[in-house]
Amino acid sequence: MEKDNVEGIPRLSALLDSNDSFCMYRRFGDEGARILLAKEIELDQLVQELRRLDKDDEASSGLDYRLHTAEYKDTWDPTQKNLLDKIEVKLDKYCEIKVDLYLKSIIAE
């Protein structure tokens, strides 16, 4: 099968794919952990911003409704919803990377 591929990386990749015992790849564990830490810092900053917003909303009789419902209406102030949307995107990416790194560590064992 390798001979069907031209010499160089195409043939090497076919060889590596031809047998499970040949499939050894670098995990980039340190780099993955570093990316994960950066994502945690980004998420923490957004969470701190959400907590500040919650305290401000608690002190404001006009915005305290945001503390008692997950509902959102287009006529309402979008600050909390926009912040939660940002957190959701960052959290999804964080979890995706975390699961990916975990699975790679299991495979490496």
> Which residue bears the tokens 């670098």?
26
pLDDT of 109 reads 60
At 3, the pLDDT band (50, 70, 90 cuts) reads: confident
pLDDT tens, 40-92?
999 999 999 999 999 999 998 888 888 998 888 899 999 999 999 999 999 99
Residue bearing the bigger pLDDT, 1 or 49: 49
pLDDT of 56 reads 93
> Domain spans of the chain?
27-108
- Answer for the pair 45, 94: CB distance below 8 angstroms, yes or no: no
pLDDT tens, 9-38?
999 888 888 888 887 767 777 888 899 999
Instruction: Return d(Cα 12, Cα 23) in angstroms, integer.
Output: 11
